[in-house]
């Protein structure tokens, strides 16, 4: 199965965009960059991304990387989001991770750390999807088991009826034979 390796990187620092973009591009990722939230949202509406790497501190009044991530998820619910932050914002990044299921990276970081973090997140996402699929299968099997139990109960009821008919038939045959024997004895006397 081919994995979609497209990534959107959003940072207001062009040097960081270039460095991360080149590094991920060399590793086989299809990279798109955006220097502001508006550009990022336009690209999200136009392209299908598997990953998003967002700077926590966007130089946009009233909007953090977490705010942008929530807007991106509105358009692409299954996108795997990673927030980049400096040490001064780690508390907010941890809160974002807990509240919104975003992972984070502390600056400065290496490209291999970004790739490892995304691969780990992708595995977690795939496991969650597999769990959902297995849960749906379990529900379907439970429904089928319930149906089979109903059929078995129906068959048991039929079997009891058949046994009752069989026993009644045996009694009838026995009574008929006894009546025949009695008639023969009556005729002989």
Q: What angle do CA 17, 41, 11 make, to 5 degrees?
A: 20
Domain 6-128 falls under CATH 3.40.1190.10: no
Distance in angstroms (rounded) separating the CA atoms of residues 163 and 34: 79
DSSP letter at 56? S
Helix axes 65-75, 37-46, angle to 10 degrees: 20
Domain limits, the chain: 6-128
Q: Which tens digit of pLDDT belongs to each residue from 14-27?
A: 988 999 999 999 98
Q: Could you tell me the pTM of the whole model?
A: 0.66
Distance in angstroms (rounded) separating the CA atoms of residues 80 and 105: 13
Q: Which tens digit of pLDDT belongs to each residue from 165-178?
A: 778 777 777 777 77
Burial (CB < 10 A; 0-12, 13-18, 19+), residue 88, is exposed
Distance in angstroms (rounded) separating the CA atoms of residues 118 and 28: 13
Q: Which tens digit of pLDDT belongs to each residue from 87-125?
A: 666 676 677 666 666 677 878 888 888 888 888 888 888
């Amino acid at each position: 199965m081919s994995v979609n390796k497209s990534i959107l990187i959003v940072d207001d620092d062009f040097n960081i965009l270039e460095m991360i973009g080149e590094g991920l591009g060399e590793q086989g990722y299809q990279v798109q960059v955006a220097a502001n939230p508006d550009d990022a949202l336009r690209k999200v509406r136009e392209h299908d991304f598997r990953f998003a790497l967002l700077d926590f501190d966007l130089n946009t009044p009233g909007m953090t990387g977490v705010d942008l991530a929530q807007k991106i998820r509105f358009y692409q619910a299954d996108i795997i989001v990673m927030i980049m932050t400096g040490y001064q914002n780690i508390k907010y990044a941890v809160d974002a991770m807990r509240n919104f299921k975003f992972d984070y990276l502390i600056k400065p970081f290496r490209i291999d750390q970004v790739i490892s973090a995304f691969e780990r997140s992708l595995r977690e996402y795939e496991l969650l999807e597999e769990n959902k699929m297995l849960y749906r299968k379990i529900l379907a099997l439970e429904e089928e088991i319930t149906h089979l139990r109903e059929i078995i109960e129906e068959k048991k009821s039929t079997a009891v009826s058949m046994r009752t008919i069989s026993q009644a038939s045996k009694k009838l045959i026995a009574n008929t034979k006894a009546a025949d024997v009695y008639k023969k004895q009556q005729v002989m006397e």
